[in-house]
Structure 1
Amino acid sequence: MPTILISGAAYGLGSAFLDAYRKHDAKIIAIDKQGITCSDDKVRTYAVDVTNETSIHAFTEDIKDEPIDLVIHSAGIRGLVPHLEIEKHGNVDACETLEAMDLPTMMNTFAINAAGTFSLFRAILPNLRLGTNAKVIVMSSRMGSLSNNAAGNRAAGSAYAYRASKAALNAIVRSFVVDVPDVAWVMCHPGRVETKLVKWKEEGAISSEESVAGLLPLIEGWSSSDSGCFYDRFGETIPW
Structure 2
Amino acid sequence: MERTVVVTGASSGLGLAFAKHYAARPSTRVIGLDISPLPAPISTLKNVSFYEVDVTSEESLAKVTNDLTGQPVHLLLHSAGIRGLVRSPNPQGQNVAALETLEAMDRTTFLRTLEINTWGAFTTIRAFLPFLKLTASLPSATSTSSSTPPPIPPKVIIMSSRMGSISSNTTGGGYAYRASKAALNAVIKSLSVDVPGVVVLAIHPGRVETGLVGWKEEGAIGPEESLETCLEIVEGVGLEGSGGFVDRFGDEIGW
State the Cα deviation string for residues 173-218 of structure 1 (Å, max 9, x = none). 1111111111000100000110001000000000001000111122
Superposed displacement of residue 54, structure 1: 1.2
Map 1:1-240; keep pairs closer than 5 Å. 1-25=2-26, 26-37=28-39, 38-83=43-88, 86-131=90-135, 132=141, 133-150=153-170, 156-240=171-255
Distance in 1 (CA, whole Å) between partners of 2:93 and 2:115 is: 24
Superposed displacement of residue 89, structure 1: 4.5
CA contact (8 A) 1:137 1:187 kept: yes
Structure 1 outlier segments of 4+, above 3 Å: none
The structure whose Rg is larger is 2
Distance in 1 (CA, whole Å) between partners of 2:107 and 2:16 is: 30
Letter in 2 for 1:220: E
Q: Quick check: 21-30 or 95-104, which moved more?
A: 21-30
Aligned-pair identity in percent equals 50
Distance in 1 (CA, whole Å) between partners of 2:177 and 2:110 is: 8
Letter in 1 for 2:222: S
Distance in 2 (CA, whole Å) between partners of 1:199 and 1:112 is: 18
State the Cα deviation string for residues 103-130 of structure 1 (Å, max 9, x = none). 0000100010001111111111111111
Distance in 1 (CA, whole Å) between partners of 2:131 and 2:92 is: 43
Distance in 1 (CA, whole Å) between partners of 2:212 and 2:69 is: 31
**What runs of 5+ residues in structure 1 fail to find an aligned partner?**
151-155
**What runs of 5+ residues in structure 2 fail to find an aligned partner?**
136-140, 142-152
Structure 1 length-normalised TM:
0.95
State the Cα deviation string for residues 85-117 of structure 1 (Å, max 9, x = none). x44241001100000000000010001000111
State the superposition RMSD in angstroms.
1.1
Distance in 2 (CA, whole Å) between partners of 1:211 and 1:223 is: 21
Distance in 2 (CA, whole Å) between partners of 1:123 and 1:108 is: 21
Distance in 2 (CA, whole Å) between partners of 1:22 and 1:59 is: 18
CA contact (8 A) 1:144 1:170 kept: yes
Distance in 1 (CA, whole Å) between partners of 2:131 and 2:35 is: 20
